Amino acid sequence: GRQREIAIRLAIGASRGSLVKQLLLEGLLVALAGGALGLLVAHWSMAMLLALLPKSFAGPWLSAQLSLPLLGFTLGLSLVSGLLFGLIPALQGTRPDLATALKNQASNMISGGPARFRKGLVIAQVALSLLLVVGAGLFAGSLMNLTRVDLGFCTEHQLMFGVSAPTSRPQAASAVVFYRDLQARLAAIPGVTGVGAAASGPFSGGTSAGNLTVEGYHPRADEYVGAFHVVVGPGFFRAMGIPLRAGREFTDRDEAGAPKAVVVNEAFAKKYLAGRNPVGVRMENGESTPPNFVMEIVGVVADSHVDVRNPANETWYFPYAQWDKPDRLQFYVRTAGDENRLATDIRRVLRAADPNVPIGVLKPMKVWIGETIYTERLIAMLSGAFGVLATLLAAIGLYGVVAYSVTRRTSEIGVRMALGARPSTVLRMILLETGRMAAWGIGIGLVGAWLLSQKVESELFGVHGADPWIFGGAAAVLALVALAAALAPGWRASRIEPVTALKYE
């Protein structure tokens, strides 16, 4: 756009080096201004990201303050960008055809290499934008599927916290007495509708598994017979809202001296007890010859998850009063209303039961569940933000190139309209030019997005890496963005007055 000015400067004796220096300085000023604005946005966004992290994952080692190395890196990146993308047009612009430039035949000078380079940059922008939009769609879909998983138990109005009685009560009998007393105290709090306790229960952060022997089940050669096992207290299934399918659940009568009772889930019954009534079947934890069936199945419950990502596995439950060692338990307290209102009463009861017993963090069940997928939530949010930002940059790039092209082709458009071209024809010409750039970018972006999706598919949940709806939606979004970016310049071009255009310099 400044070819005529540069040609005049060169014609009256300006050196090429001084002009390149001036153009580079202008580019560096723009780059540094962009870097400064980026730092400001970075400061805001870092504080927002820290606010989104669970408190248990944040700490003094995480800060929203920008460090000197980060400042230096950003400054260096801005300088490199300014030098790189300022030097190329500076070198091109200071080698004009002086005769042509002084005659202001700029329209003949904007085609060729520089124009193709500009269009190539815009095509690359569109391709990268589509890649990021596809990534945002994949991670957002994965997060949505995670939040919709039916966990098999009630998550509403549920509080969860850990209690470690063995720390001050190493004897199993003493720990059992404490847990029973604590459960009774918690159940007596007004507003509490159920209390359950379990080791390796849902979202407790650990699972236990081992081999076993089931009466009447004949495994195939080299088949591993095993299942997860969870130690629970009386009333656990009722408090968790896990439906009882057959038999009974544990009660206070399932104590150390009573016959060993077991409750299994539906997945266990389907795999090892298919075609039989599970209630009354005996089993052994481990294997011996001959089998020592000391445990009897007294009930069957519905399947439930121990976390969001993994499906419900074959599981058997055992009363903690009959377990051979004391263990840390997770307590699940179900309330009739807002669970946060009972937090103070629960802490008071815990201190009154035994102030020497360590108590874990007390949180609503939904908070615990949300924290287990906070990484997926963070990735989905970041990829979505990057996708929006990249799409905005692609729109700016498309608009800039098309608007510049329309400005430089004003005389040409005036001639076309003077010879009878309709405004709709001019508008269609501009839109087609933009559409070609967008089509190339979308095509390249789809290939890149497919290659990337194969790499991240293992991180997704319930979403195929090459999901056609997500790919199609991303392509449609970029196509609409390209159309919107071209409408304003195209509309202006279709409203050009031929007489004014023919006089345009």
Task: Work out whether strand 315-319 and strand 226-232 pair parallel, antiparallel, or are unpaired.
Answer: parallel
Distance CA 64, CA 42 (A): 9
Predicted confidence (pLDDT) at residue 101 exceeds the cutoff of 60: no
Predicted confidence (pLDDT) at residue 505 exceeds the cutoff of 80: no
Predicted confidence (pLDDT) at residue 32 exceeds the cutoff of 60: yes
What average pLDDT does range 22-51 have in this prediction?
A: 81
Give phi and psi for 301, each to the nearest 5. Answer: -120, 165
Residue 490, judged by CB atoms within 10 A of its CB (0-12, 13-18, 19+), counts as: buried
What average pLDDT does range 281-293 have in this prediction?
A: 86
Residue 59: pLDDT band with limits 50, 70, 90: low
Residue 139: pLDDT band with limits 50, 70, 90: very high
Question: Among the listed ranges 46-60, 128-142, 371-385, 446-460, which one has the minimum average pLDDT value?
Answer: 46-60
Q: In a 3-state reduction of DSSP, which class is residue 380?
A: helix
DSSP element (H, E) containing 161: strand 158-163
What does the pLDDT read at residue 31? 83
What average pLDDT does range 412-429 have in this prediction?
A: 83
> Per the structure block, which two tokens stand in for 339?
């669970």
pTM: 0.76
Q: For 387-400, how does the pLDDT look when each residue is reduced to its tens digit (9 = 90+)?
A: 888 888 888 888 88
Q: Could you tell me which of 148, 487, 90 has the C-alpha nearest to residue 309?
A: 148
What does the pLDDT read at residue 57? 56
Residue 497: pLDDT band with limits 50, 70, 90: confident
Residue 12, judged by CB atoms within 10 A of its CB (0-12, 13-18, 19+), counts as: exposed
* Other CB atoms within 10 A of residue 491 CB: 14
Distance CA 470, CA 169 (A): 55
